[in-house]
Structure 1
């Protein structure tokens, strides 16, 4: 009897210890599985964004005098986050980078400058011609992108927010061909940056390469030229070919706040000090002009008139500084 009791006790102890070990092992396996799953999901998220990043072509209008200051700030901050990025400018022959055998680490040749032979001279009066020549060139030599972002050398772009926004527009119908800060006359701000879709660029190029058509929609202001020329294209093109398209897409967020900003951050936040100096911001926009917190979306994409020092500072605030426990320690706004 005692012998049987001892056997039972030993069997129970063995079963109990084995069960505990098994439970511990299961818990360990579950924790390991969750950690691996989180890592894979994070990598999948990064790869998912990179997949769309490769579909974004960015080009920045600049000139040779600004390359080392404004151009460098653009190049060292947001520009390399695009799938493909180039500067658009004319270099004089003494600074032609194509014949250099060594990379100049402290000069202009380190920048990706597209050699567009049809560019006009560098003057504001020829800015529309410069943009037209660039778009025709990119349509021919870089046709495999879904979105084409045009920006100035004093525009700061938050590329990840731009990509998220563009991805959210994929299923829109009818499909816009142009995105940016909207003005009432059916065009968008050039300084805030704008995006032309693949289909939009192809339509633009197929008609505006004809100079007689271009001359009917040209303007000294390149952003107005883009809007007028797209409007002209929509008039010329057969309804059957463009019935699924619309001209300008909506870019404000669900709270009515702008994503693209044609002024500097401080001006959108504080308001212009001199109303007459920025009078157009009050009567030309498509949506009512707002300032302060109500003006700036939490998914903001761009700011114009950003000087090089400001560009580095904004970039550091966005990408280098981490907000501790943002999701866990929410603070009520009193």
Structure 2
């Protein structure tokens, strides 16, 4: 009986043991599967987070081992110091200037608003010239001279902008990094000096802003009173007279285009450069541009420096899409700083725009 009991008991227990073994296998499979799914999801989130970097932050994705705890944007902010000065008037202090200060102006190493009256909300420098469009050249001379006398040691580069301009400071520093501030050079959107006898001469658009090296600032501040080289009267186009004056003083008009010959300074909004049908071939920009402008979806530089005719609302739109907007699934960009350029190796291309 004992043998039979044992035999019968063995036969009765075998199906139960199989079921228990099957359950354990299923549970183990589910556990392993859940673990794999969790790990995969975690990895996917990591990849999405790493790749969702907007352009302005994308520059920071350089190899961090060479920077320690410092991002590339922070390194450039420290090494390429930029003083911004914005030309404005009292009637635009609240309508425009304060919005510049709250958006891109925050990223300047220093920023000052050149105007005719002080303002508690703005770091202002009060000029003596009247608030008249006809004397912009006079106001510009006074502003740059004041900056040279009081703030020359506070920055390496000095950019003039209007109160309806948007400037991407990270991209400007990235563009300027190869150049020494001891080189007499300035950058902006190059216009032809039409009708000038100066060979291959250009000047920079005032609307999109132009940036002078420390040496260019010194040369201008000390030389603009020379009547043989610079216009002494105040009543003339500011950017045109600035170009003539700097050319005569030996300051180079640099080429600010990127490696694919796409402009980085824009005297207009982005639409004119993105959409070929937005303007006709008689558009003034096509005639006056020193380097041939193009309009297409690939014609905008990936690292634009500035746009002109930007409304207050668009200032904040640019802020959102460059400093808050995230794009899921975008592959991270690993970038390198450009090589330094010695002054003796500097080559500025001639004009390639044949439109007259």
| 1:88-167 matched pairs, under 5 angstroms | 88-91=114-117, 96=118, 108-116=119-127, 119-144=128-153, 145-167=155-177
Residues 44-83 of structure 1: pairs in structure 2 closer than 5 A: 45-53=72-80, 55-83=81-109
Please report the TM-score for the alignment, with normalisation by the length of structure 2: 0.67
Asked if 1:260 is matched to 2:276, the reply is no
TM-score w.r.t. the length of structure 1 is: 0.72
Maintained 8 Å contact 1:60/1:87: yes
Hey, what's the Cα distance between the residues in 2 that align with 1:328 and 1:85? 32
2:68 maps to 1:41: yes
CA root-mean-square deviation: 2.6
Structure 1 spans left out of the alignment, 5+ residues: 1-36, 97-107, 235-245, 330-334
Match of 1:282 in 2: 286
**Do the aligned partners of 2:85 and 2:113 also contact (CA within 8 Å) in 1?**
yes
2:187 aligned partner: 179
Counterpart-to-counterpart distance in 1, 2:66 and 2:291: 42
Question: CA offsets, 1:133-157, max 9 Å, x none?
Answer: 0011101001112100000000000
Sort the Cα spacing of 1:233 and 1:219 in 2 relative to 1 into closer, same or farther, 3 A. farther
Query: Equivalents in 1 of 2:272, 2:279: separation in Å?
Result: 10
Q: Distance in 1 between matches of 2:235 and 2:185?
A: 20
Distance 1:326 1:207, change over 3 A: same
Matching residue of 2:246? 230
Alignment partners' CA distance in 2, 1:274 and 1:80: 33
Higher relative helix content: 1
Taking the aligned partners of 1:126 and 1:51, their CA distance within structure 2 comes to 35
Rounded to whole Å, the distance in 2 between the matches of 1:221 and 1:228 is: 11
Deviations 1:68-115 (A, max 9, x none): 011122111000100000111011xxxx5xxxxxxxxxxx41111113
Whichever of the two has the greater Rg, that structure is: 2
Change (3 A) 1:289 1:227: same
Larger RCO, structures 1/2 (Cα 8 Å, 6+ apart):
2
Matches within 5 A, 1:241-252: 247-252=252-257
Looking at structure 1, the residues matched to 332 and 223 of structure 2 have their Cα atoms a distance apart, in angstroms, of 54
The Cα offsets for residues 204-240 of structure 1, whole Å up to 9 and x where unpaired, read as 1111145675436866211101111112223xxxxxx
Evaluate the alpha carbon distance shift between residue 209 and residue 272 of structure 1 in structure 2; reply closer, same or farther with a 3 A threshold.
farther
